[in-house]
Amino acid sequence: MHKYNIAVIGVGAVGEEMLRVLRQRYFPINQLKVFARSSRTMVVDGQSYPVEALRENSFDGIEIALFAGTEGEKGAAVTFAPHAIRAGCIVIDNGADFRMRPDVPLVVPEANASDVKKHHGIIANPNCSTIQMVVALAPIKKKAGLRRIIVATYQAVSGSGRGGVVQVEEEFRAWADQSGREVPCHMDQRIAFNLFPHIGSFNEEGYTTEEMKLVHETHKIFHDNKIKITATVVRVPVRTGHSEAVYLETVQPIAPQKVRQLLKKSPGVTVLDDPPNKVYPMPIDAEGKDDVFVGRIRRDPAVKNGLWLWVVSDNLRKGAATNAVQIAEELIKQKLV
């Protein structure tokens, strides 16, 4: 088997998870380099990785570069992707900077793997909440079509980075020890014993950037701007694992039992759907796993072709690192690298 020279750029929560996923999926690596703003050593699951300071010439000999990316600010890929491409490297970027560029494919392998062929050096990884939703909806769209999607997300604090995890843990500790000390807010509001409908910045119509990502990215991945999509996103005091209440109207009628059968056969999906026996997806089920978990599949009794799904996934795994690595696997599978 041919092995490849791989770089991971970023040592935050997603970069760490990328290293873990590469190892766990036995990615065929010849040489692995890790880059960040400054040199150091990082340890993931007991394994040490030397981290080099990222420079313009860091990509010589690298075939695939996984940029861990940032949300809400310009990521490293904006500065360094052109240098990587000139060095003959294919960039897979987890940040938001390139997702909606018409010349950059936005890929979820279970939904639009063939789009990797369209790359011109960069492939974008979608937003975490978009990824899990389209994995669950792609088989339904293929079978019955999609007319409308209404989604409410319940997003874990790890989606805001390590600072969000620290904030919720420290807030709970401050409550438990009754110290009364104030905990600095990494997120927009206090999160312990709380939730808030605010991720990203608000536009003139009152929607956040995170909500509009669900709209625009889903349209691009499905190659269908006619699907009516609207969203509300909520930050909740869960460490890892995003949950989504997804309402959809299909073009053709499809029974809930047919949807269950369809999803059970779909790659990357695990169906947990036996509510009377308390079987339904929860974030603790998804943490550390790569699948998208679907349950509470039910018909809308008031609307023809209306269905509800409850969708849960690990936002650091399938919502970021795993999907990026799967894109790299598709490049190999399709002999594009």
Question: Which sequence positions are flagged as catalytic?
Answer: 128, 242
Q: What are phi and psi of 48, to 5 degrees?
A: -90, 140
In DSSP terms, 245 is beta-bridged to: 152, 310
User: Is residue 258 within 8 Å of residue 252, measured between CB atoms?
Assistant: no
- Which tokens in the block code for residue 216? 């625009």
User: Is residue 262 within 8 Å of residue 140, measured between CB atoms?
Assistant: yes
Q: Is the sign of the CA dihedral 296, 126, 208, 139 positive or negative?
A: negative
Cα of first residue to Cα of last residue in the chain, in angstroms, is 13
Distance, in Å, from the CA atom of 139 to the CA atom of 136, rounded to the nearest integer, reads 7
Query: Given its phi and psi angles, is residue 171 left (phi above 0), alpha (psi -120 to 50 degrees) or beta?
Result: alpha
Distance, in Å, from the CA atom of 195 to the CA atom of 183, rounded to the nearest integer, reads 16
Q: What are phi and psi of 296, to 5 degrees?
A: 50, 40
Distance, in Å, from the CA atom of 74 to the CA atom of 163, rounded to the nearest integer, reads 18
